Amino acid sequence: MYSIATLALQDSRKSEWDQFVKDQDDGTFFHLSGWQNVLWHSFQHQPHFLYALQDNRIVGVLPLAEVKSALFGYALVSTPFCVYGGALGPAEVRRALEQAALEIGQRLGVNHVELRYKQAQDNDWITRSQHATFGCTLADDDAAILAGIKKNQRALIRKALQTDLSWHIEQNNDDFYQIYSESLRNLGTPVFSKKLLDELQREFADSTEILTIRHQGQAVSSVFNFYFRDEVLPYYGGGKPIARELKSNDLMYYQLMCHAKRDKACTFYDFGRSKLDSGAYSYKKHWGMQDSLLHYQFKLVKAEQLSNLSPNNPKYQLFIRMWQKLPLSVSRLLGPLLAKYLG
């Protein structure tokens, strides 16, 4: 049949792993082997990247990493800081990889094992669908892309196009991090370390890019993007407080769609995950994109029930309000100490 092995940090099978991921219809950017190095070097989250072999050929993969915190608990996740995960391969191989993951979780003594599947699975794991992912096929040109956006959202973009806002493709992440960290502070959310961006750009040099909107030379909105096969994924994005007035966030995402189609030959725009009934969920619905429920799955190991780390959890509301009042310099200093456990 097949055997299950663990990918080492420096492993000759990494290229084979990545090719397998790219060949799977449900393979995603977040299944790539490079996340192993990113998670370890950014946060020291111990990876357990499992693969199944048959006749010495990879027939299934499951990226996993430990997230251990005295405050937020201990979990084995596929995959931290990623919106998609879970096992890839034929159904029987996925079930075997899931069982191997559970056995690792039991050996480690984690609270639970979490697999972030996009599609529903035929297994006995607990399924929690609290998020949806959004996306659309990219039309042939800028005008057609704009015409495909819902009327009200399209009007905001047209207004922004008539201003002196300019867009720029960048690799330097300094402006992006300043904007993004301020956006998260304003939301009451700790920001991760800038080292994560550095590691992502190092590990995925040909697949990462930053698009920034500037107003009178000053960066006002910026988004950090991934490219995978024929898809573009605007993954981390934010804007200055003035962005709402300038409509610069709206312009930013539209210009990314146009750039990805025109300059990168992308055919699909993955607008990412949002919690159901959240502000981000409503914003993406206004673009007219199709939403699909995500099927995150869990196995309890030491925990008696699933934890709720959502910002909608009432017990975190006081913390969120306090965080929103922090000086930016303090939030940037303290944020990475907490955010590394919130991926």
* pLDDT tens digit at each of 343 positions of the chain: 789 999 887 778 999 999 999 999 999 999 999 999 999 999 999 999 999 999 999 999 999 999 998 788 999 999 999 999 999 999 999 999 999 999 999 999 999 999 999 999 999 999 999 999 999 999 999 999 999 999 999 999 999 999 999 999 999 999 999 999 999 999 999 999 999 999 999 999 999 999 999 999 999 999 999 999 999 999 999 999 999 999 999 999 999 999 999 999 999 999 999 999 888 999 999 999 889 999 999 999 999 888 766 666 666 788 889 989 999 999 999 999 999 998 8
Q: If we measure between CA atoms, which residue out of 322, 303, 278 comes closest to residue 185?
A: 322
Query: Do residues 196 and 252 both lie within one domain?
Result: yes
Query: Do residues 44 and 114 both lie within one domain?
Result: yes
Please state the φ and ψ torsions of residue 320, each to the nearest 5 degrees: -60, -45
Query: Do residues 39 and 167 both lie within one domain?
Result: no
* 3-state SS class at 179: helix
- Per the structure, the count of domains in the chain is 2
Query: Do residues 34 and 67 both lie within one domain?
Result: yes
* pLDDT at site 309: 63
Give a yes or no: residue 343 inside a domain. Answer: no
Q: Cα–Cα–Cα angle for 336, 271, 62, nearest 5°?
A: 65
* pLDDT at site 162: 95
Query: Do residues 103 and 139 both lie within one domain?
Result: no
Strands 65-69 and 57-62, bridge-based pairing: unpaired
Q: How many CA atoms lie within 13 A of 153 on its CB side?
A: 20
Query: Do residues 212 and 186 both lie within one domain?
Result: yes
* pLDDT at site 24: 97
Q: If we measure between CA atoms, which residue out of 144, 160, 163 comes closest to residue 262?
A: 144
Residues 6+ apart with CB under 8 A from 268: 135, 136, 137, 138, 230, 231, 232
* pLDDT at site 310: 62
Give a yes or no: residue 336 inside a domain. Answer: no
Residues 6+ apart with CB under 8 A from 161: 251
Tokens representing 43 are 């946060």
Alpha-carbon distances of 223 from 37, 182, 195, 208, 239, rounded to whole Å:
23, 13, 17, 11, 9
Query: Do residues 144 and 111 both lie within one domain?
Result: no
Query: Do residues 123 and 164 both lie within one domain?
Result: no
Please state the φ and ψ torsions of residue 128, each to the nearest 5 degrees: -125, 120
CATH number of the domain that residue 118 is part of? 3.40.630.30
* pLDDT at site 311: 62
Fill in the amino acid letter for 44.
Q
> By residue range, what is the domain housing residue 102?
3-129+294-307
* Distance (Å, whole) CA 343 – CA 327: 23
Query: Do residues 156 and 82 both lie within one domain?
Result: no
pTM for the structure as a whole: 0.94
Please state the φ and ψ torsions of residue 224, each to the nearest 5 degrees: -100, 120
Give a yes or no: residue 280 inside a domain. Answer: yes
Query: Do residues 70 and 124 both lie within one domain?
Result: yes
* pLDDT at site 213: 98
Q: Cα–Cα–Cα angle for 163, 168, 170, nearest 5°?
A: 160
Give a yes or no: residue 80 inside a domain. Answer: yes
Q: Given its phi and psi angles, is residue 209 left (phi above 0), alpha (psi -120 to 50 degrees) or beta? A: beta
Give a yes or no: residue 322 inside a domain. Answer: no
Please state the φ and ψ torsions of residue 308, each to the nearest 5 degrees: -125, 95
* pLDDT at site 306: 80
Q: If we measure between CA atoms, which residue out of 177, 340, 189 comes closest to residue 275?
A: 189
Query: Do residues 154 and 94 both lie within one domain?
Result: no
Residue 119: CB atoms within 10 A of its CB come to 12
* pLDDT at site 318: 85
Give a yes or no: residue 282 inside a domain. Answer: yes
* pLDDT at site 313: 66
* pLDDT at site 269: 98
Whether the CB-CB separation of 113 and 75 falls below 8 Å is answered with yes
* 3-state SS class at 266: coil
Query: Do residues 284 and 147 both lie within one domain?
Result: yes
Residue carrying structure tokens 């024929």: 230
